[in-house]
Structure 1
Amino acid sequence: MSKDYLIILSLLLSTVLATASSSSSSSSLYLGKGFSHRKLSPSYHIHKTIDESYAVIFDAGSTGSRVHVYRFNQQLDLLRIGQDLELFVKTMPGLSAYAENPQDAAESLIPLLEEAEAAVPQEFHPRTPVKLGATAGLRQLEGDASDRILQAVSDMLKNRSTLNVGADAVSVLSGNQEGAYQWVTINYLLGNLGKHYSETVAVVDLGGGSVQMAYAVSETDAAKAPRAPDGVESYITEMFLRGKKYYLYVHSYLRYGMLAARAEALKVRDSENPCILAGFDGYYVYGGVQYKAKAPPSGSSFSQCQNVVVEALHVNATCSYKDCTFGGIWNGGGGAGENNFFIASFFFEVADEAGFVDPNAPNAKVRPVDFENAAKVACNTELKDLKSIFPRVKDGDVPYICLDLVYEYTLLVDGFGIDPQQEITLVRQVEYQDSLVEAAWPLGSAIEAISSLPKFEKLMYFI
């Protein structure tokens, strides 16, 4: 038998074995009602190297809980976990829904934890940091409810998890942390970190309970930043990223996330509200509080609703600085770092419901005027006709679609000062290494957590 023949036979045998292994190991995950996930290749534990590291980040948001698992190489580049660059699993409702029962809140995370631990090879568990960051939903809970939930979650992780649960593993993120992490996530995925600040993008992230704005400014402008009012976080956050120091203008507006803003607008007109579609008479519930939601006899009105939203945002509040956003908050001074806006979370969802973006696209180029145009149509529609014009609007959002569109347009233009005709990018996911990665703050948190490991020599840290 010739040497060439033996080589060919060996290659054929290897191919057959690989095919058999692949076909016999395919599987699908099911987490039960309320859970969703990305399907992972069953071979995600192969090709381990000594230079890789994992991070597990829980995002305890106002509308649900999510877990992200990331895998990095020594240069802090993302590596694949199976076919994707992250494991992403989510469940509803969020931890704040368990305000009266902290133990149930902690137990709601167990299926997420189990999926995350299964994605990390066993030998990496002791050195894989796990963190949970709670956002606006828990920030708004009254009394000690938030502390009791966080303690229950911390106890659960320490008692059940084989991952590295540090003393600071569970916390409520400050608004500035959330905004800074989101800025890091998007600019990391775009390949902007390490570049001059003028080559980075600005980020506005509209969550359920709060909205964050973040962009890089020059060292000179950072030095001129005014002192924040009492009770307000510093306007400038300093970060060291990929060998370069950045000065971020960051501000978080609690109670002005999409779901919270509905309540703020309904408080402005607590009887008949021109933001509510004609034909609706009911209550909107947010944070355990009921708000009357009833249309006036004339129905909803774009111009009158915008007046309500401007009042709710306190756009005309006294400004003690050269320029403000809304509520008397300094706007950061502008500059090259905010020439290009990436707009995340509920902005994309509402644009999807209004029908002016592709629901299957990871991102979309739009202009604020697109929200205005859709709002004018929605606000001129009765409740009974809305679904025939906007078929993608979720049933629970139908009475509020006029309000949602007016709010997002007004927030961008009157709140953040973006020109109605300026092109902006609505983003859910960012393409990175031919895969799509969620445009969410946990990646920024994961990069910071991994950077703190000794072998990474603090490639990213807050100053």
Structure 2
Amino acid sequence: MMSANKKHFTTAIVGVLVALSVIALVLSLVKTEDVTLPPTVKYGMVFDAGSSHTSLFVYEWDSDKENDTGVVSQTLSCDVHGQGISSYANDPPKAGDSLRECLDEALKVIPAAKQRDAPAYLGATAGMRLLREQNSSAADQVLAEVAKTMQGYPVAFKGARILTGEEEGAYGWITINYLLDSFTKYSPKAHMWVHPEVANIFGALDLGGASTQISFMPEGSGIKQNGASKLTLYGYNYSIYTHSYLCYGQNEMLKRLAKELIVESPSSTRVHHPCYPKDYNETISLSSFHTSPCTNWTDTRLTLGDGKVTLEGRGNASGCQAALKKLFNFSACGQRQDCTFDGVYQPPVSGQFIAFSAFYYNFKFLNLTEGQSLATIRETIQHFCTRSWEDLSSSYPEENPERLPKYCANANYILTLLLDAYKFNETSWNNIIFQMKAGSANVGWTLGYMLNLTNMIPAEAPAQMKGHVPSLWAAAITFIILTLVLGLAALLLLLWV
């Protein structure tokens, strides 16, 4: 028979073993994430103050995953009524007042407790760049008024400023590749963050009202210093080519085209317009050319007065293309292959591109965003240009009558810009994707701008994911089983004795 002391000793051992088994089991089942506090949602907002209109975007993200990719979602998109803020140069307070309706909408979606911590930015693009060239004091006053309005709201106002064209292009490039997880991805199999292939990095094509931008990673490392932007994101270095062409946005292009057509017929008050539909007429004042630096240059061929000229549509696709090509100085490049126009350097395009903003909207109207061949696109545009104004008006009663007559010019301009200037060809054309959204967010420069200014894209690689390491998990399970077996054996021995 076992003595009482031995029984107590054996019982104590069994108790300890069972207790260790329970503790090990509990610890193995509880993850780090299970004991953390609920995630905190943060908000941020950016005004895109473009040349023709202003839009507000509100974003939200889980603060626990602030430096991960693909965690920011778009909560609100609000279009400001009226023209761009540069149109208020003669009455700056109205520029600030124009933002109020969208700011009020933003406060409806951001919880009151989060509003004071929500960073708020306004970035102005080509319209304000032009105004600054023409009247820098007026540009400063407009920015001061929009800042004053935003400071009156319960948000963390971080500034209103004019972006450079290169910044606009680079932030658009960041937005696209962030939303498409092109910078870094988490591999569940390897339990680590991995760097996607460079071939999966997208280029960005942006067409606005007053400027257009192209940004991409060329093949190899052959970017001349004056065309390179260097970025360090998630532990990797990127050298991208980005360039912005002021006065080559579609609205300024239309003004410049009209002026050139008038210059070619200086003594006539009725001028043929090959890009406008047949039977469509538009009367413009010559003094309107004074309102933009893009058309207000010294031109001995035309004395700009206060007279009026009527542009008469001819619906001539080939004539439209020929007139548009005259807006580019292709001869300045000579025989250089690394040149677009006006002597501007550009390495050969490579990789896939996302074409957004006016690139997308014009082609979407023509049903050309589904990956059609270049031949089909050309044929569709040519056919559209031959349609009369009466035909178009009756076929598209819902379309804005001010935009409808301009789709022929816009579409042909896009072809000229992409093929003749940027030098896409029959093969590389298939690498262009016309798209305005990625996931739940609009494609554009605003998200990239906010990510950069809030330091949500770190230069360092993301930290490793929390969770069980497989080898440690296996060791924990083995320990639990052995402990339980030993405890059971000791208990049986006690009962048997």
Pairwise TM-score range, normalised by the shorter structure: 0.7 to 0.9
8 A Cα contact 1:78 1:85, kept in partner? no
Contact 1:218 1:247 in 2 (8 A): no
**Structure 2 letter corresponding to 1:318:** C
Pair member with larger Rg = 2
Question: Is 1:248 aligned to residue 248 of structure 2?
Answer: no
2:282 partner SS: strand
Pairs within 5 Å for 1:365-384: 365-384=371-390
Instruction: Show the 5 A alignment for 1:397-412.
Output: 397-412=403-418
Which residue identity is paired with 1:278?
Answer: K
Contact 2:80–2:101 (CA<8 Å) still a contact in 1? Answer: no
* 2:446 aligned to which of 418, 442, 455: 442
Provide Cα deviations, 1:259-317, integer angstroms capped at 9, x if missing partner: 11111222221132322222222236688579956237xx2321121111111122333
* CA displacement 1:202-254 (0-9 Å, x = unmatched): 111111111110002367323xx054xxxxxxx21111112211111000111
Call closer, same or farther: CA 1:404–1:99 in 2, change over 3 Å: same
Counterpart Cα distance in 2 of 1:151 and 1:280: 42
For residues 333-412 of structure 1, what are the structure 2 equivalents within 5 Å? 333-334=348-349, 338-357=350-369, 364-388=370-394, 393-412=399-418
Residue 382 (structure 1) shift: 2.2
Q: Distance in 1 between matches of 2:140 and 2:335?
A: 35
> Is the 1:243–1:459 Cα contact (8 Å) retained in structure 2?
yes
2 CA distance for matches of 1:365 and 1:109? Answer: 37
Is 1:65 matched with 2:80? no
Distance 1:183 1:150, change over 3 A: same
Preserved contact between residue 235 and residue 459 of structure 2 (Cα < 8 Å)? no
Q: Is the contact between residue 53 and residue 450 of structure 1 (CA under 8 Å) also seen in structure 2?
A: no
Instruction: Tell me which residue corresponds to 1:26.
Output: none
Cα gap change, 1:390 to 1:373, in 2 (>3 Å) = farther
* Identical-pair percentage: 25
Among residues 71, 76, 89, which one is paired with 2:78 in the alignment? 89
Residue 276 (structure 1) aligned with residue 276 (structure 2)? yes
Closer, same or farther in 2 for the Cα pair 1:457/1:344, shift >3 Å? closer
Instruction: Tell me what 1:12 maps to.
Output: none
Matched position secondary structure for 1:87: strand
Name the SS of the counterpart of 1:355 in structure 2: coil
Relative distance call for 1:244 and 1:346 in structure 2 (3 A) is same
Give the Å deviation of 1:458. 5.3
Shift of 1:416: 1.2
Output the CA distance in 1 between the equivalents of 2:202 and 2:260.
34
Q: Which amino acid aligns with 2:67?
A: Q
Structure with more relative contact order (C-alpha pairs < 8 Å, separation 6 or more): 2
Alignment partners' CA distance in 2, 1:419 and 1:112: 42
Between the two proteins, the alignment pairs up a number of residues equal to 381
Per the alignment, residue 110 of structure 1 pairs with 100
SS of 2:407's partner is helix
Richer in helix (by share): 2
CA RMSD of aligned residues (A): 2.8
Match in the other structure for 1:19: none
Amino acid paired to 1:59: D
Among 185, 189, 193, which residue is 2:179 paired with? Answer: 189
1:157 corresponds to 2:150: yes
Moved more, 273-282 or 183-192: 273-282
Equivalent position SS for 1:268: helix
**What's the counterpart of residue 119 of structure 1?**
109
| Corresponding residue number in structure 1 for 2:323 | 308
Change (3 A) 1:117 1:286: farther
**1:417 deviation in Å?**
1.0
TM-score (norm 2): 0.70
- Counterpart contact for 2:47–2:54, Cα < 8 Å: yes
Partner of 1:30: none
Contact 1:451–1:457 at 8 Å: present in 2 too?
Answer: yes
Q: Distance in 2 between matches of 1:287 and 1:345?
A: 27
Separation of aligned partners in 2, 1:305 and 1:157: 44
Partners in 2 of 1:287 and 1:86 — Cα distance? 40
Residues 322/97 of structure 1: CA separation in 2 closer, same or farther (3 Å cut): same
TM-aligned CA distance change 1:79 to 1:287, over 3 Å? farther
Q: Kindly indicate whether the alpha-carbon contact (under 8 Å) linking 1:237 and 1:248 is maintained by their aligned counterparts in 2.
A: yes
- Mapped to 1, the partners of 2:85 and 2:393 lie a distance apart of 32
Alpha-carbon contact 2:333-2:344 (below 8 Å) kept: no
Q: 1:420 to 1:258 in 2, by over 3 A?
A: farther
Give the TM-score of the pair, scaled to structure 1: 0.75
SS of corresponding position for 1:444: helix
CA contact (8 A) 1:354 1:393 kept: no
Q: Which runs of 5+ in 2 are unaligned?
A: 1-35, 185-195, 263-270, 293-305, 462-497
Could you tell me which residue of structure 2 aligns to residue 295 of structure 1?
312
Change (3 A) 1:65 1:107: same
- 1:161 positional shift: 2.5
* CA spacing shift, 1:106–1:317, aligned 2, 3 Å: same
Q: Which consecutive unaligned segments of at least 5 residues does structure 1 have? A: 1-46, 228-234, 358-363
Distance 1:148 1:68, change over 3 A: same
In 1: Cα distance, 2:318 partner to 2:275 partner: 9
SS across alignment from 2:57 = strand
Counterpart pick for 2:436 among 428, 433, 443:
428
Distance 1:392 1:318, change over 3 A: farther
Shift of residue 322, structure 1, vs aligned partner: 4.0
Does the aligned pair in 2 maintain the 1:319–1:329 contact within 8 Å? Answer: no
| Structure-2 separation of matches of 1:333 and 1:199 | 17
CA distance in 2, matches of 1:48, 1:100: 52
Structure-2 separation of matches of 1:332 and 1:303: 29
Q: After the TM superposition, which residues 206-217 of structure 1 pair with which residues of structure 2 at under 5 Å, given as runs?
A: 206-217=207-218
Please state whether the residue corresponding to 1:272 is helix, strand or coil.
strand
SS at match of 1:308: helix
Q: Deviations over 1:345-373 (max 9, x none)?
A: 1122112322344xxxxxx4344444422
- Relative to structure 1, the CA distance from residue 319 to residue 102 in structure 2 (aligned partners, 3 Å threshold; closer, same or farther) is farther
